[in-house]
Each structure stands twice: as C-alpha cells, then as structure tokens.
C-alpha cells in the first residue's frame, strides 16, 4: 500500500471513529431519563486508548465534561488494570477531583474487548439532576453536604449490575427512578459504542485501536504545534472580577507563548471560599484549554494530541484549584468564566482575533418543591428539576455575538413543553431582552427574560447560582458592556444571585439573563445593521440614537 493510500485509509478510519462516539452520544440522549442529557446534551462521549489518552470525542457534548474526562480515565486504569477486566465490566465515579468537578457529573467507563483482549476504553460523563444532599447550589460548606460521593467502583461485573451500589444510590436521592434509569443508560450508551467500534476494527482488519490512535494523536499534535508556531512569543496578563457568592472574586491569569507551548498560570487568583463555587484543577484545565483552542486551533479535532501543548497551572488552594473537601457543586459559576479571562490575555497577543466578553456562566435554574397531593392536606411528592437559560455571547471580530446561546458550555435549551411536563411549574415568558447586547461595531448577543411560576401558583424554591448580576460583560476595543443580569420576584422583591431562596405562593421568579459585550466603536456600525436591529426589536430607537448615533 502506498503512503498516500495508507494516509487516506487512516483518515477514513478517523472520521468513522468520530461517528462511532457520536452514535454513542445519541444513544445516550435517546435512553437517558434526565432532560439535562436527553434534551440539553449536557454530556460527553469519547473513546480512549489503553494509555488513557483521548482519541476521539462526540460532537455532541460540553468541554467541561469531555476535557475533564480526558484527564480522568487514567485514574480508572490505575485502580482497575486492564488485566483484571472482563467483558461486560463497567466502572463508575462522580469524584469531582478525578473527573468533571462536582458530584452531579457521573462518569462511566467501559472496556472494549476485541479478539480476546482489551483494546480501548469508552466513556461517558453526564449531568445528573439529583445526587442527594443540598442539591446543585452554592450553599454547601463542604463536599459532604453536597450529595452522595461515589468513589471509583465497579458498576457492572461481567454483565451483572452491582445491586448494593444501586440500592445505596436509590436510597440517597429524591428521584430514585430517574437516577437509576440514567445510570443504566450510560451503560447502554457505552455498550452501543463498543459494538460499533468492534465492527469498525473488523471491517478494516485492525488488531486493535493503537495504530489509528497513534495516527490521530500524532497528527493532531503536529497540527497544533504548527498553529502555535504562527503566534508571537511573549507573556501577557489579564484579570477579571466577578460577583462571587457574598463578595467579589478576582481571577488573574498570565499567558505565555514559548517553545511550542501555550501556558496559562492563574497565580494571584483569589483563594477558595467556603461556598460551593470552587473549581477543581480538572475543570479549570478543561475550560481554560477550551478557551485557548477557540482562538489558537479551532479546526483541529479534540484529542490528546490537540490538548497536550496547552499547559495550565494554578496555585493549590486557590478558587480554581481547590483542595478536598471544599464545596464545588456550582463550580460552573467560576469555571465557565475562565475562557473570558484567557481571551483577555489573547486579545493583547492577537489583536483582532478575539471576541468580547459574554454572559458566559450558564444560568441553570434548579427548582425544588412538592407536587399537589391527591389526598388533600398531605404533602405531595417532592420534585427537583433544572433547565438551562443562556445569555448573550460577546461580539466576535467579524460578526455580532450570538443571542441566548450557551457559550462556552455548549448545552442546548430544553423545550418549555418538556420542562413543564416533567415538573409542576409554568414558564410564563421566555423572550430576548432588547438592548441587553453591548453596543459596538459588532453588537453583543442578547440575553433573555424568563418568568417561572408554580403550577396553580404553588410555592417552590430556587437554588440560585447566577453570575454577571453586579459585574456585566466588558466591551472590547471601544465596544459597550453587556447588560447585567437581574434576579427578582414578579411582585417586585429583589433576590440574591446565589443561594437557596423561596418563591412564595402566588408569586413568580423573574430572571433577566445578561447580555454579551460589544466590540469596536458603535459609531462604526453600518446604518443598515442598526436599522435592522431596531426593526427586529433587538435595539430600541433610543439606543439606536444614543449609542449608535442613528438619526432620522
């Protein structure tokens, strides 16, 4: 076989491998019980070689999951060596320090046997709505309050589910049927991926995964280093202050491009806090590297080779490298802001290539209450539900920011009908916020207004974990800031942006989700674009006049 033909064959197999893990992800979405996975795609699915290296990931998923799992599989292999594995085995953990950063993300890893030997590992990591404890909110003072901890354990042994583990899991959560169904769907997903992977290896007469894994990782590494070689060498620093829990938090980063690598050091970032917004190193690395790759090497598929030239450092004990057993349940509040900090450094190194700041932190609305009881005065069955709402992303170098879009998390919004059918709530309004995108030659993306009430005006609780309420997204290169978020009651009372709070009977929760910042002088925006924004209701006539200088 010629070198060109061999290379073509490898490229075909590479594409095929991505389709294998994408089918794995789609199987997960079709079989999961939780709307966070089934409808929002808050998951990752990927294949790893027996050295624990990420080889290919599904297109569906989030960087917080897959980039954390990229570091976590080696912990499974250390605890469960390949020679101890058997067909039908599956392994599980939700340890925040080993995988995706909080107890609500459950990871299941499964060996793939081919021709009598283990040739690969398949993994999924998914958001679990309920894992017991206080729930996914920032109120916990330690990891022990935040839910059930599952260490590295064997979930299934030779096809037999670990009944004792499932009993413990069901006993510790508010929605046992949903949690059990979700965990079993993770197993089903991996088994589907394993079947497809074996079929692929047989079709191409491959003894195992190693040849294609080496090809993918080596070529991705070379391509990434080539992109880094185009960058100017040097060191740049940036910082960003965000709301925090009960006092502001400052994130500081220094970015260095040198010797074929890009290093981000968070030295100087504020220390950990006794509330659940802290970030473990895995999650810090996941979103930092994602931010870097968005600008430096966005076209290169995500795998070990594409990730390894990016180095992330953070002082132990800081809010982005917290020690056990500090609380971490709402770690996305900090973690999803890290790409904006990275962009602040890159904007100095690569002017004209970096977007403005966005709303960034996903406004996850976790609600808790009780369903109406058929028995009259007796309390009904408890419910926990979560749905995602996104603000505006920052304006991009050649385009406006995206409205109501989950960047950097990448999850989807769930349909209102699905949310209302799964919990006794009513979403009375969900619409874009006019003027919430920062003014600029390229306008920031719009946030949205969401109004939620209990069915029959019943009371409920919100586990608030919202950012950019006190400190909105900052404009770049003369662009305006995005609008800040607001958390309040329909009756007029202002709520805290973080923490468990009641929504009284007959009242409603109102969320005004932040907008993204603008980029460039607003006076440079084409008149036709401003007029189109006014016609669409994105920009008010007053803002068109005052911010953009539009006159009749």
* 326-338 confidence digits (pLDDT tens): 999 999 999 999 9
pLDDT band at 89 (very low <50, low <70, confident <90, very high): very high
Domain boundaries, the chain: 3-220, 355-552
Which pLDDT value is given to residue 424?
Answer: 95
> Distance of CA 166 to CAs 88, 153, 155, 188, 317, Å?
17, 12, 9, 16, 34
Which pLDDT value is given to residue 377?
Answer: 58
- Six-digit token pair at 86? 């058997």
Average pLDDT for 98-114: 97
- Six-digit token pair at 522? 């607003």
Task: Choose between 5 and 254: higher pLDDT.
Answer: 254
- Asked if 68 contacts 54 with a C-beta cutoff of 8 angstroms, the reply is no
Neighbouring-strand partners of residue 156 = 90, 161
Residue 538 has pLDDT above 70, yes or no: yes
Average pLDDT for 80-97: 97
Q: How much is the CA Rg of the chain, to the nearest whole Å? A: 24
pLDDT band at 379 (very low <50, low <70, confident <90, very high): low
Average pLDDT for 414-438: 95
Residue 401 has pLDDT above 90, yes or no: yes
Query: What tens digit of pLDDT does each residue of 441-500 get?
Result: 999 999 999 999 999 999 999 999 999 999 999 999 999 999 999 999 999 999 999 999
Average pLDDT for 35-54: 95
Which residues lie closer than 8 Å to 220 by C-beta, 6 or more apart? 300, 301, 303, 304, 305, 306
Residue 5 has pLDDT above 80, yes or no: no
Which pLDDT value is given to residue 542?
Answer: 96
Which pLDDT value is given to residue 104?
Answer: 96
Average confidence score pLDDT of the chain: 95
Which pLDDT value is given to residue 213?
Answer: 97
pLDDT band at 376 (very low <50, low <70, confident <90, very high): low
């Amino acid at each position: 076989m010629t070198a060109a033909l061999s290379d073509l064959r490898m490229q075909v197999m590479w594409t095929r491998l991505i389709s294998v893990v994408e089918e794995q992800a789609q199987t997960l979405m079709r079989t999961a019980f939780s709307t966070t996975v089934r409808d929002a795609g808050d998951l990752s699915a990927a294949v790893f070689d027996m050295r624990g290296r990420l080889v290919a990931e599904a297109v569906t998923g989030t960087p917080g999951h897959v980039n954390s799992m990229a570091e976590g599989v080696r912990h499974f292999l250390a605890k469960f060596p390949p020679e101890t594995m058997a067909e039908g085995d599956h392994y599980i953990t939700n340890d925040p320090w080993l995988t995706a950063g909080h107890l609500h993300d459950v990871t299941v890893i499964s060996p793939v046997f081919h021709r009598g030997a283990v040739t690969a590992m398949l993994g999924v990591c998914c958001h679990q709505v309920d894992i017991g404890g206080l729930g996914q909110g920032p109120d916990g003072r330690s990891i022990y309050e935040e839910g059930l901890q599952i260490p590295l354990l064997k979930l299934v042994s030779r096809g037999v589910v670990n009944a004792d583990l499932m009993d413990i899991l069901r006993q510790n959560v508010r929605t046992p049927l949903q949690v059990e169904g979700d965990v079993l769907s993770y197993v089903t997903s991996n088994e589907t991926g394993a079947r497809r992977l074996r079929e692929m290896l047989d079709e191409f007469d491959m003894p195992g995964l190693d040849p294609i894994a080496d090809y993918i990782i080596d070529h991705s590494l070379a391509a990434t280093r080539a992109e880094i070689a185009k960058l100017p060498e040097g060191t740049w620093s940036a910082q960003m202050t965000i709301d925090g829990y009960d006092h502001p938090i400052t994130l500081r980063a220094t970015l260095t491009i040198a010797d074929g690598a890009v290093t981000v050091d968070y030295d100087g970032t504020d220390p950990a806090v006794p509330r659940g917004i802290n970030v473990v190193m895995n999650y810090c690395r996941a979103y930092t590297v994602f931010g870097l790759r968005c600008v430096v090497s966005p076209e290169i598929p995500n795998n070990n080779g594409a990730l390894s030239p990016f180095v992330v450092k953070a002082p132990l004990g800081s809010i982005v490298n917290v020690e056990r057993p500090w609380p971490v349940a709402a770690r996305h509040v900090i973690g999803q802001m890290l790409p904006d900090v990275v962009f602040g450094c890159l904007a100095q190194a690569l002017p004209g290539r970096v977007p403005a700041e966005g709303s960034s932190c996903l406004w996850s609305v976790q609600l808790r209450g009780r369903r109406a009881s058929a028995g009259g005065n007796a309390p009904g069955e408890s419910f926990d539900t979560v749905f995602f709402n996104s603000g505006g992303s920052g304006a991009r170098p050649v385009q406006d920011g995206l409205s109501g879009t989950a960047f950097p998390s990448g999850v989807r919004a769930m349909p209102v009908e699905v949310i209302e059918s799964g919990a006794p709530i009513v979403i009375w309004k969900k619409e874009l916020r006019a003027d919430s995108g920062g003014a600029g030659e390229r306008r920031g993306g719009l946030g949205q207004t969401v109004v939620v009430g209990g069915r029959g005006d019943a009371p409920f609780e919100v586990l608030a974990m919202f950012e950019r309420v006190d400190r909105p997204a900052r404009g770049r290169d003369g662009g305006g800031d995005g609008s800040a978020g607001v958390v309040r009651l329909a009756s007029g009372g202002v709520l805290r942006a973080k923490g468990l709070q009641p929504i009284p009977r007959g009242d409603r929760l109102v969320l005004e989700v932040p907008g993204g910042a603008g980029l460039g002088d607003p006076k440079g925006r084409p008149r036709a674009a401003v007029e189109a924004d006014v016609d669409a209701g994105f920009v008010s006539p007053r803002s068109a006049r005052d911010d953009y200088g539009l006159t009749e």
